Structure 1
Amino acid sequence: MTSFADLHVPGTPLLLPNAWDHASAVALAGQGFAAIGTTSLGVAAAAGLPDGTAATRAETLLLARRLGGSGFLLSVDAEGGFSDDPAEVAEVARELADAGAVGINLEDGLADGGLVPVARQAAKIAAVKAAVPDLFVNARTDTHWLGGREGETRSRLDAYQAAGADGVFVPGLSDPDTIAALVLDVGVPLNVLYAPTGPTVAQLGDLGVARVSLGSLLFRVALSAALDTAAAIRSGGQVTASARSYAEVQHLSS
């Protein structure tokens, strides 16, 4: 099997769909995707918990254990590592790797709209790489999502790379010129979050992007489809969304 790191090819980006449970992950793997990620929003919402507040460590580990032996490469969105203590974050990473995960996504955004201090986030990354050297650490900075802090992007990515990050992730980044410049500046694969109104996967590849994540998009689309379908039936309208058969869904757990 091709290693997870080898799938990150600038110009031919890894398209990483993000699942929120066993069925969505296995179904996506069945469509031939080279690797599957998880979405922290989907995992949290499905459990009735808030995202980005370190509330879903147990749920995240449980899902990783369910998926780790499913025959596909798995990268786990672990928010900020569920702790401010680098040693505890490293323990989470070790548990995820033991469950079969080959990658982890660590973010520096805070629930209150701020950012983790650079030194602390770098210490988390270094601790993870020391504990589980083979785990692909995708270091995410939320500078573009927060707005007004874009100027910190380069310095944060530099610090995260120096700490051992295998890849860097800048969600909210969609301007082609900025993406192309960042590709040239960073020394590791650049991950961009796909946006329906932004560049296509092919266009991002032309810019040198090495990984394109779908984040919570699939979960939110699925939830919208369920709500639209229920509303259409209630109003006497037509069901327009396609649906897998009972047998197909049952097969996902076989």
Structure 2
Amino acid sequence: MTFRDLHLGDRPLLLPNAWDFASGAALAEAGFPAIGTTSLGVAAAAGRPDGENATRDETVRLARALVRLPVPVTVDVEGGFSDRPGEVAALAGELASYGVAGINIEDGRADGSLRPVKEHAALVEAVKAAAPDLFVNARTDAHWLPGHEAEALDRVRAYTAAGADGIFVPGIAAERDVRGVVAATPLPLNVLFLPGRTAVDELAGWGVRRVSYGSLLFRAALRAAVTTALEQAAPAGVPSYADVQRLVAETS
């Protein structure tokens, strides 16, 4: 089944997001049919801030490792690490050449603004021209960054017209907002998993086709590491040294 096909099932694609090879391999072994990456996890693990175009090399390096996994991989490229369509298209072509199945490209900026809609649409067009088989998930942060909610549907329509394969609107959880986006585009809608907000089954009933964990797993791993150190006791189910060695060896 292709990565595109995974968006067409009876239930939304539940997509976990890895920050290094081991986390991706563990998630694939757990049975997830595809793996994404988290830009926060990649950036923080490298000691750099997220969303500031500082981790292009780390992102590419991780992508090249993750394509060894037996499942499709989609890569979070933040805003493309450039505002120049040619440079973003070159990155997309490079990732596609390694076997990456998809990318997320976002219009949010670190300063809390949004990239002008025509500029972001131009990036989507450039990526599709350079890598037509790459599943381009066009992300708008109109609901993620305060004060931009009214722009969401216009941006969804613009990125759809630009040739995106999917639409990602993190931050929406209310039925009215979700159904509004579903009505605005024929493309599969991706939302962010928000614990305690809306159940996946409910999202499915509203038309959502993909649910991403985002940086949640990375942040949970940080918490688990600190808790284990403070409590001086390993929680149940921690993989053994041999388990991790086997996990990596089997995908090398």
Q: The TM-score by the shorter chain falls in which range? A: over 0.9
CA deviation after TM superposition for structure 1 residue 239, in Å:
4.2
Assess if the C-alpha contact under 8 Å between 1:192 and 1:209 holds in 2.
yes
Whole-Å Cα distance in 1 between the matches of residues 128 and 40 of structure 2?
Answer: 25
- The one-character-per-residue Cα deviations of 1:162-200 (angstroms, maximum 9, x if unpaired) are 110000000000112221232122110000000002111
Choose the corresponding residue for 2:246, options 244, 248, 251: 251
Give the aligned CA root-mean-square deviation in angstroms: 1.2
State the identity %.
58
Distance 1:71 1:164 in 2: 28
CA, structure 1 residues 229+241, in 2 after alignment: closer, same or farther (shift >3 Å)? farther
Using the size of structure 2 for normalisation, the TM-score is: 0.96
Following superposition, which runs of at least 4 residues in structure 1 exceed 2 angstroms of deviation? Answer: 238-242
Give, as a single letter, the amino acid of the residue that structure 1 aligns with 2:133.
Answer: D
User: Partners of 1:182 and 1:61 in 2: how far apart?
Assistant: 31
Distance in structure 1 (CA, Å) of the matches to 2:69 and 2:196:
33
**Superposition TM-score, scaled by structure 1 size:** 0.95
- Between Structure 1 and Structure 2, how many residues are aligned? 249
- 1:91-136 deviation per Cα after TM superposition (whole angstroms, max 9, x unaligned): 1101111121000000000010100011110010000000000000
Asked if the contact 2:156/2:184 (under 8 Å) is kept, the reply is no
Equivalence map 1:113-192=2 (5 Å): 113-192=112-191
**1:70 Cα deviation from its structure 2 partner:** 2.1
> Within 2, Cα distance between the matches of 1:185 and 1:3?
25
**Which residue does the alignment assign to 1:88?**
87
Unaligned runs of 5+ in 1: none
- Residue 54 of structure 2: aligned partner: 55
Amino acid at match of 1:250: Q
Q: Which runs of 5+ in 2 are unaligned?
A: none
1:162-241 matches, within 5 Å, as 162-233=161-232, 238-240=233-235
AA aligned to 1:47 is A
Which residue in the other structure is 2:103 paired with? 104
Q: Distance in 1 between matches of 2:146 and 2:236?
A: 35
Aligned to 1:23: 22
C-alpha separation in 2, matches of 1:33 and 1:10: 14
1:64 aligns with 2:56: no
In 2, the alpha carbon distance for the partners of 1:242 and 1:176 equals: 36
Is residue 11–residue 204 contact of structure 1 (8 Å, CA) maintained in 2? no
- Aligned to 2:156, the other structure's residue is in SS state helix
Deviation at 1:82, TM superposition (A): 0.3
* Aligned counterparts of 2:95 and 2:75: Cα–Cα separation in 1: 8
Amino acid in the other structure paired with 2:167: V
CA contact (8 A) 2:16 2:35 kept: yes
Q: d(CA) in 2 for partners of 1:135 and 1:97?
A: 6
